[in-house]
Structure 1
């Protein structure tokens, strides 16, 4: 499967799973040539074809394709420039994650070991006007340490070493958010304690192949 075909697949997945509606969301991938493949603006992700994917450089200059580049291109390019380990970015408006972004402050609490390991610390980024530099400013303090960002009043962003990695992080984030909201409806969710987290990180590299800096988690 080509990279463009994989982008089409993920676009259809985020639409089918209701992580986006109408024309919401944008998806991009870094190529081996360090160019960026990104969805064009004004297209329902359920309708995306390979013709709706543009190729640009890291400054947003069009290399190939027709159409207007995604309005959130600044967010994507900022992430790629700051994180050499990131090769894909998924931005969606999943209902439960976005709902938490409307009410939570600063960081999403650590509730699930598997989410902590794959996503790191999840910041609730201050509201910023969409498509502006304010959005990149809202994530800059967390960009080095997190793989998922909840944007106040504006959905979420996940990043990954590959497109499917970034997509699955979005899927896991939304599943976790849905579970947290369900728990809040019947009581106070039990957070992982500092000891729980230290115990988890003490085995994370040998058991899961994931090395995390505890100072960036607690």
Structure 2
């Protein structure tokens, strides 16, 4: 194993542990993948994030097929592949279920940050994508299109996805989304409502662009449809997840 691969696996372990410590995942929730040498490294399915070790991390093809590792790919690997296909600069994808952001996603409410630094970091909107079942090709299309404008988004009924040039960047975006939405929830309970003026938002978006933040190298080409083998793999994984949930 070369140094780069060791480093990336250590990063995956670190941020799996961090997600668990922050309460962003429960049971077997959440997944992480990173690009490595024309391949992907990813967490396996059916493992609590606090249990992840280096030998559990899978090596996958760019389309999400397992190349190395004892475990199985998680059922939503196609969502990660859709993220990588959308923008060349994306090198890491993280998916979790932080409480406040996931709850907001359930009710389908997009979020506009009220803090100037958050607009520079995340843009002026954290959208909610429509509900779709795992393995639904429509979900991949929606994600592909959503990433033309944002680096993090909520999925109705399925938590939050954040992307980055590094895994640290993707994780920090995830953490910031939850922090902002929790802060907004508390402010609303206190009877406080505040929003930035559009002219201020426009200035902040200009700063974001000048800093090289936000979407770059977006590919307008639609993601390829999953081949029959990939579709069957996804169906098998979902079936096993349901069976295990019913018997645990």
- Structure 1 pair 202–135 and aligned structure 2 pair: CA distance change class (3 A): closer
Aligned CA distance change for structure 1 residues 15 and 198 (closer, same or farther; 3 Å): same
User: How many correspondences in the alignment?
Assistant: 209
Say if 1:83 and 1:7 are closer, same or farther in 2 by CA, change over 3 A. same
* Larger gyration radius, structure 1 or structure 2: 2
Which of 116, 125, 132 is the equivalent residue of 1:113?
116
The structure in which a higher percent of residues are helix is: 2
TM-fit CA distance, 1:104: 3.9
Counterparts of 1:1-218 in structure 2, within 5 Å, are: 2-31=7-36, 33-105=37-109, 107-120=110-123, 121-204=125-208, 209-210=211-212
**Matched residue, 1:216:** none
Q: Distance in 2 between matches of 1:118 and 1:203?
A: 10
| Superposition deviation, residue 203 in structure 1 | 4.1
For structure 1, which runs of at least 5 residues remain unmatched after alignment? 214-218
**Unmatched 5+ residue regions in structure 2?**
1-5, 216-248
Aligned residues of 2:150 and 2:214 also touching (Cα < 8 A): no
CA contact (8 A) 1:118 1:147 kept: no
C-alpha distance in structure 1 between counterparts of 2:201 and 2:135, whole Å: 36
Q: Aligned-pair distance for 1:129? A: 1.0
Q: Which runs of 4+ in 1 moved over 3 A?
A: 201-206, 210-213
TM-score in terms of structure 2 length: 0.79
Give, in whole Å, the separation in 2 of the partners of 1:143 and 1:155.
16
Q: Is the Cα contact below 8 Å between 2:82 and 2:143 reproduced in 1?
A: no
